[in-house]
Amino acid sequence: MPSREGALTRAATFFDTGGFKALLTDLVAIPSTAQEEGREADLDRYLNGAIRPWLERLGFDVQVRPNPLEGFGPILTATRVEDAARPTVLLYGHGDTVRGLEDQWRAGLTPWVLTEEDGLWYGRGTADNKGQHALNIAALEAVLAERGGKLGFNVKVVLEMAEERGSKGLRDFVAAHADELKADVLIASDGPRVEPEVPTIATGTRGTFHFDLVIKLRPGGVHSGHWGGLTRDPAIILAHALTSMMDRNGRVLVRGILPPTMPNSVRSVLAGCPVGGGGDAATIDEGWGEPGLTSAEKIYGWNSLIVLSMISGRPENPVNAVAPDARAHCQIRYTVDSDPATFGKAIRDHLDAHGFPEVEMQTSFMRMSASRTDPDHPWVRWAQASMAKSLGKKVQIIPNASGGLPGDVFVDHLGVPLVWVPHSYNGCKQHGPDEHLLIAPAREGILAFAGMWWDLGEAGTP
């Protein structure tokens, strides 16, 4: 007789006997980067050549449509409806990646070839996001096989190819196809667990607000010997402006870009939440950031200000001149408890009040908006219980992931609660060289989804 345990065994067998590794090898081999020109055919090949045949074999009606915005990658939708009276789940993913950065990978590794070493699968897209959505679809296939070609629920899929460019066009696309994509819940995977060993559910993501701080004092550089000590140095002024915005220990001093408070529901769910797994490239520096908050509260429940880059003069070829200008590109990672529409005025007022009228704020924009579902939502707690049953361990809920995802698009136009189940970890190097997927959490991921897919076909769903 078909059983839940049978479905999990099928998923585990596929993973343990090399089936999933072979699948991921083929997906990684498609250089579907959205950040390099000339890869348009690879973006299409990922959807039409790899994903579409797979989903059609599983009984989905699949369409690949152009992005509503010219110059951005296509979008795949797929539907598999068995019974309109049963729950409908929306599965999201993205098949585009960041740049390959081939020349920066360490010896023996290359971005478009899957390489296994010491419990890791290296390759561009293994963690972000090919490996993650492939695990979920493979788990679905295991449940279909166990139930003899039936699921007992309905599935819809959205797979985009422009997430690494800010999901441009996705909002317009979902708005135009809202009736087609109507669902009861979004259950999907991207981003990191709170720690590699801790299964995690995120109910939203922080948003990203970008802006430049610019000071331009003169048309060109002037001789440092003749003018140094007499004329203003834009780099120094900009550095002081930045330190007026954040103190030596990382406390944000522009209080208008922070949430007025942290909701009790957020504090409650983050009580005791671990944070880690950054690998050699990152550390948790005690005392850095907002005083009085735990590490989990700082990245899952609060806002952060980061200087992503800054420049004055020509660092690659310095000359003996006082530079004419300086620029810093900054980012605010923010939760839904803040209004990004107020950030610009708060920063301008702060700079003026602290004596920096010559520092201009330019090119501000939101790359992704924040989103959040209540951590106690019935679908969230249902997923937590299902995953705990499958994995035999505690499942940590966080109110939003630390990074950005287009969850707001699905909340705004479909009204679905968000259940993000990440299969990666903070040290996966997803936007740099040597990107990799940890094999052990990936195995737990396919089991967790096999269990949820099975339970969706049973009674007791929200």
- pLDDT value of position 280: 64
Per-residue pLDDT, 282: 72
Give the gyration radius of the chain's Cα atoms: 24
Which residues are CB-contacts of 174 (< 8 A; sequence separation ≥ 6)?
158, 181, 409, 410, 413, 414
pLDDT tens digits along 207-259: 999 999 999 999 999 999 999 999 999 999 999 999 999 999 999 999 999 99
What Cα–Cα distance (Å) separates residue 237 from each residue in 100, 233, 316, 318? 37, 7, 21, 19
Query: Peptide bond preceding 129: is omega within 30 degrees of 0, i.e. cis?
Result: yes
Query: pLDDT at residue 50 above 80?
Result: yes
460, with CB counted inside 10 A (0-12, 13-18, 19+), is: exposed
* Distance, CA of 170 to CA of 68 (rounded, Å): 8
Question: Does the structure show a pLDDT above 80 at 347?
Answer: yes
DSSP-derived secondary structure for 365-421:
EEEE--EE--TT-HHHHHHHHHHHHHHSS--EEESSBSS--THHHHHHHH---EEE-
Q: Residue 355 pLDDT > 90, yes or no?
A: yes
The pLDDT of residue 184 is above 80: yes
* pLDDT computed for residue 252 by the predictor: 98
pTM of structure = 0.92
How far is Cα 250 from Cα 287, in angstroms, rounded to an integer? 8
Residue 288, helix vs strand vs coil: coil
Residues with Cβ within 8 Å of 349's Cβ and at least 6 positions away in sequence, in order, are 256
Average pLDDT over residues 356-385: 95
Q: According to the model, what pLDDT value does residue 277 have?
A: 75
pLDDT score, position 279: 67
Please provide residue 400's backbone torsions phi and psi, each rounded to the nearest 5 degrees: -160, 150
Q: How far is CA 187 from CA 158, 163, 353, 357, in A?
A: 11, 17, 46, 47
Distances (CA, A) of 76 to 157, 289, 302, 364, 416: 8, 40, 34, 31, 19
Find the length of the chain.
462
pLDDT in tens, 244-298: 999 999 999 999 999 999 999 999 999 999 998 766 667 889 899 999 999 999 9
Q: What is the pLDDT of residues 115-171, one digit of tens each?
A: 999 999 999 999 999 999 999 999 999 999 999 999 999 999 999 999 999 999 999
Give yes or no for residue 367 having a pLDDT over 90: no
Cβ atoms of residues 462 and 438 within 8 Å = no
Q: Do the Cβ atoms of 161 and 168 come closer than 8 Å?
A: no
> So what's the pLDDT on residue 402?
81
Other CB atoms within 10 A of residue 180 CB: 11
